[in-house]
Amino acid sequence: MSILKDQSLAESGRRKIRWVRDFMPALGRIEERFAREQPFAGLRIAVSVHLEAKTANLGYVLQKGGAQVRLTGSNPLSTQDDVAAGLASMGVETFGVHGASAQEYERHLIETLKVRPHLIVDDGGDLVHLLGGKCAQLGENLIGGCEETTTGILRLRAREREGILPCPMMAVNDARAKHYYDNKYGTGQSVWDAIMHTTNLVVAGKTVVVAGYGWCGKGVAMRAKGMGADVVVCEVDPFKALDATMNGFRVMPMDEAARCGDVFVTVTGCKDVITPRHFAVMKHNALLTNAGHFDCEVDVAGLAAMAVGREVRRENIEGYTLPDGRVLNVLGEGRLVNLAAGNGHPAEIMDMSFAVQALALEWLVRHRQGLERKVYQVPDEIDEEIGRVKLAALGLAIDALTPEQQAYLNGWKAE
């Protein structure tokens, strides 16, 4: 039933999955409980997240909790064919091929939804988009779902405002256990891991332009500064721009930054962040990368229209030659560089994010009666449970408030 490139790659995929499982202790402890309690017994779950080893582990944990799971990717360039084959060999129906065309990618999404899920895990809103349109009939059993990304949550809230959200959805990205760690530390490390591995170039001494200073942008800028780069931040929010300034970064509009940048990283979740007017003034051999969500932050189509030539310069790097001879280099086709040209966030980081996913799905099942078709915040108790589990798994301990301290913080009398 699975759609794969090559089932013979399964052992390589299983090795990758086994490796990350050793470094995802919080999800491992949740798996132990799920295996005992079977919270998803009789339920079907459709998952669309970047198809690599950490995601495979999430799919496997949900299966151990009693669910029938179908899993696909959320970006054709981030799908790892050996991991897809490995997961399928572990009993999770898997649909994904690296480099799939837009038509093939949609087919994989639809095949995943044909399980007629009770629960979904989405990354960027692709499953919700189909369930709210051409695949509405496949959502007849929906209890609810979870969304992994900032971009996806923006789209969910837009649907909620218009009254067209197909089911209750949990804003996993907004959980403390997710955005504090995944967005800042995960993105910060994985983006530079991918850029450095792909280019084999030094970071120190270069001018790095980070577009967007949300949690992801903070991580990218922080790590660039730590490696010796001169960091420029571009923002549309005055307070985020002030925050960047207070953290020691230069702040300017993209029209100015385009002239001085050596490496550009977009982290906005919006479109048309870097456009032809910016390409026109960039340095020769500037590197253009995206770490937001969709491949519209850097206008690669606009760059192609300007160019008089293009060539593959290294794996995952395409050079566009402009009429004056300058070459601008696009990494990973302008898709998420840390996944299109790398292995994504570290396992220890995704341990936190996917623990949120697992517990949020369980919460939706427990509270299925009376849920409305709206976006829900992850309950504090889930965040706190994951924090405690993660600390325990790392062998760490923290202080606890005494009853008197609790009363002091919750009251108004200075006693």
Binding residues for NAD(+): 149-151, 214-219, 235, 291-293, 338, 345
Going by C-beta distance under 8 Å and a sequence separation of 6 or more, which residues neighbour residue 310? 304, 318, 319, 320, 321
Residues of each annotated binding site: 149-151, 214-219, 235, 291-293, 338, 345
List, in sequence order, every beta strand (DSSP E) within 108-216. Answer: 119-122, 144-147, 169-171, 207-211
Contact between residue 352 and residue 326 where contact means Cβ atoms under 8 Å apart: no
DSSP summary character for residue 327: E
C-alpha pair distances (Å), 352 with each of 54, 150, 157, 238: 11, 16, 24, 30
In the three-class reduction of DSSP (H, G, I as helix; E, B as strand; rest coil), residue 99 is classed as: coil
Q: Is 3 helix (H, G, I), strand (E, B) or coil?
A: strand
Between CA 4 and CA 102 the distance in angstroms is: 16
| Euclidean distance between CA atoms 256 and 367, whole angstroms | 51
Give the sheet arrangement for strand 169-171, strand by strand: 93-95, 68-72, 44-48, 119-122, 144-147, 169-171, 375-377
Task: Please tell me whether residue 393 adopts helix, strand or coil conformation.
Answer: helix
- Residue 268, both tokens: 């906005």
Distance (Å, whole) CA 397 – CA 378: 24
Q: Cα–Cα distance between 178 and 291 in angstroms, integer?
A: 17
Which residues have a Cβ under 8 Å from the Cβ of 41 and sit 6 or more positions away?
Answer: 66, 67
- The pairing of strands 317-321 and 327-331 is antiparallel
**Closest of 225, 165, 215 to residue 192, by C-alpha:** 225
CB 298 within 8 A of CB 266: yes
The pair phi, psi for residue 397, each rounded to 5°, is: -135, 150
